[in-house]
Chain A
Amino acid sequence: AQKITQTQPGMFVQEKEAVTLDCTYDTSDQSYGLFWYKQPSSGEMIFLIYQGSYDEQNATEGRYSLNFQKARKSANLVISASQLGDSAMYFCAMRERAGNQFYFGTGTSLTVIP
């Protein structure tokens, strides 16, 4: 079974609007971490945001926030006030605390329209 599922291969958003990128995960562990990474067309992988399974507040980093719904096993990324530079691939990932491995989703391609 897939550990991380990203069901939106491609998304479009108008500049200055907010957008939500979906991520669901599968684990039986109680302790785990969830991550989002950005990959622009230049190819590098950029760490955006982290959420621990025991964190009570949703994580935020500037215009990025992680909408963590533990019962639904979802960890959606919300980008507010989209900018043209946000156009990129976005990957959701998880690490179970008991292990060292990270599991990545297949990614969502976001295009910001001027």
Chain B
Amino acid sequence: GQSLEQPSEVTAVEGAIVQINCTYQTSGFYGLSWYQQHDGGAPTFLSYNALDGLEETGRFSSFLSRSDSYGYLLLQELQMKDSASYFCAVRPWGYSTLTFGKGTMLLVSP
């Protein structure tokens, strides 16, 4: 089976840097994805790591280490609008669908 673990909640202040970790137990997968969901809104795609290493997109970066069964989302220069839930997800080999973690609620305070 597939299992992804994320912290349930993370708090930080504006301008800070925060890292949201995702550890997983799955035999093999195509890559690690991250989605953002504001309260009451639709999940939106943030990033995808097919290979090990760091992918950077503006203030957001995502990292994957298959040997450590671990990935993270790094958010820099935090803004109030970054307060949202963040989900990691994988598509296991042989499957057509994404399996999501339970999500991490990020609270950014002034």
| A and B part of one assembly | no
State the A residues within 8 Å of B (CB). none
